[in-house]
Amino acid sequence: MAATLLADASIRLENALQHVNISDDAIERLKYPKTSLMVSIPVRMDNGSLKIFRGYRVRYDDTRGPGKGGVRYHPNVSLDEVQSLAFWMTFKCALLDLPFGGAKGGITVDPKALSKAELERLSRGYIEAIADSIGPDTDILAPDVYTNAMIMGWMMDHYSIIYRKIVPGVVTGKPLSMGGSQGRETATATGAFHVINTICEKLGRIPEKTTVAVQGFGNAGAEIAQQLANSGYRVVAVSDSRGGIYAEQGLDIPSIRHYKQENRGIQAVYCEKTLCNIVEHKVISNEELLMLDVDILVPAALENQITADNAEQVKAKLIFEVANGPISSDADQILERKNIVVVPDILTNAGGVTVSHFEWVQNRNGFYWTVAEVNQKLKEKMITATENVWQIYSSKNISMRTAAYVQALNRLGDALDAKGTRNYFVGK
């Protein structure tokens, strides 16, 4: 058990429990997922062969509302990983005071190896297998690693076919034409930007004098790099799954995004219209990016990028976890000893689920907000959550991660205890 991702994630819970006063009943219920579903998905491939894919959906806790969480397509997806992600979602939703519990799903697949038609059949097959366990009042899906608005649209459409009625609220992150929300595509990065800005202001950091390295140049990583650069931060390094680039003078993020879209790779370039010229830079690995001497490190890729094996070499002053679980619990202790402030994933990347909540609300009301309204509501939510965590962090002299879990635990404990505790039933 100690080797599993869920066990490692649970260590954060144990640390926070020292600083809260909630019932033993609540603690016991939070140790285990409510439901864990594993399914087989048969898909007819383009060449006529039949292939079976393994899929998962975990609802960790739904005390505060229906489960909420993304679906990821990745070769390394496992039940343990999905349970861990659902665990984190439970605390993330509580931290942001959203009326959701935590859930997550995934399929063990390399989506790059599938045609678009095969990907559609896989996505619809997944909904066919889990339809009885999801719904707008039960468990709501969203995009995650290697899933997007198109895939969410297929999933919502197939659920609607099964139940013979249009049910937009079963999935968030959909295309706008199918009931999606303005601002959802960039919500994770925009939320992270507000967290970073709020913390930097409290620490007296000036954007123009602050260097940033971003590991992961997907939807969230590329967008947060651009938003930070637009605000004056000097983004000196970025990387994707193939490797990264570093330039001390800073990188032109819009040009790099344009180059990647056209060439499916990262190159340090400066573009004027359609003409891109390579600028001076150093080619680095993902591992080397994590060790750069920068002010801010943003892991925006996958889990367990910083562990006990490499934490001693990390030189950044601040780490903002845009990815889920990029730092292992044993690495936390090393980073804390080195006085590196880690702002945890359940706060930093909560912009995605926050705007997913907005989308769910809009679907239920049949009334939709402008992108300006969505972004203003998101800003208010993220800054409020950051201020709450900062107050606990400062007053209790604990890590930012533990402070975030303390805030979430207090809310979860209140909801769990409202159903009755041992003290209530024995009359104490």
Domain boundary residue, one of 178, 213, 237: 178
* Whether residues 194 and 84 fall in one domain: no
* Whether residues 161 and 287 fall in one domain: no
CB atoms within 10 A of CB 410: 17
Domain boundary residue, one of 147, 178, 209: 178
Does residue 166 belong to any structural domain of this protein? Answer: yes
pLDDT of residue 278: 73
pLDDT of residue 274: 66
pTM as predicted: 0.90
* Whether residues 68 and 100 fall in one domain: yes
pLDDT of residue 145: 86
Does residue 381 belong to any structural domain of this protein? Answer: no
Domain boundary residue, one of 146, 178, 210: 178
* Whether residues 170 and 236 fall in one domain: no
Tell me how far apart the alpha carbons of residues 288 and 259 are, in angstroms, rounded to a whole number.
Answer: 22
pLDDT of residue 280: 76
What are the 10-residue block averages of pLDDT along the chain, 428 residues in total?
61 81 85 94 97 98 95 95 92 96 97 97 98 97 93 97 96 96 94 97 94 92 95 94 88 86 73 71 90 96 90 96 91 94 96 96 96 97 97 93 94 84 67
* Whether residues 170 and 148 fall in one domain: yes
Tell me how far apart the alpha carbons of residues 236 and 225 are, in angstroms, rounded to a whole number.
Answer: 10
80: left (phi over 0), alpha (psi -120 to 50) or beta: alpha
Does residue 154 belong to any structural domain of this protein? Answer: yes
pLDDT of residue 169: 96
* Whether residues 123 and 211 fall in one domain: no
pLDDT of residue 15: 80
Does residue 405 belong to any structural domain of this protein? Answer: no
Does residue 155 belong to any structural domain of this protein? Answer: yes
Does residue 325 belong to any structural domain of this protein? Answer: yes
The catalytic residue positions are 104
* Whether residues 311 and 237 fall in one domain: yes
* Whether residues 214 and 328 fall in one domain: yes
pLDDT of residue 428: 57
Does residue 329 belong to any structural domain of this protein? Answer: yes
* Whether residues 291 and 244 fall in one domain: yes
pLDDT of residue 183: 93
Number of separate domains in the chain: 2
* Whether residues 58 and 96 fall in one domain: yes
Full residue range of the structural domain in which residue 76 is found: 33-178
* Whether residues 115 and 228 fall in one domain: no
* Whether residues 309 and 332 fall in one domain: yes
What CATH number does the domain containing 340 carry? 3.40.50.720
Does residue 367 belong to any structural domain of this protein? Answer: no
What CATH number does the domain containing 68 carry? 3.40.50.10860
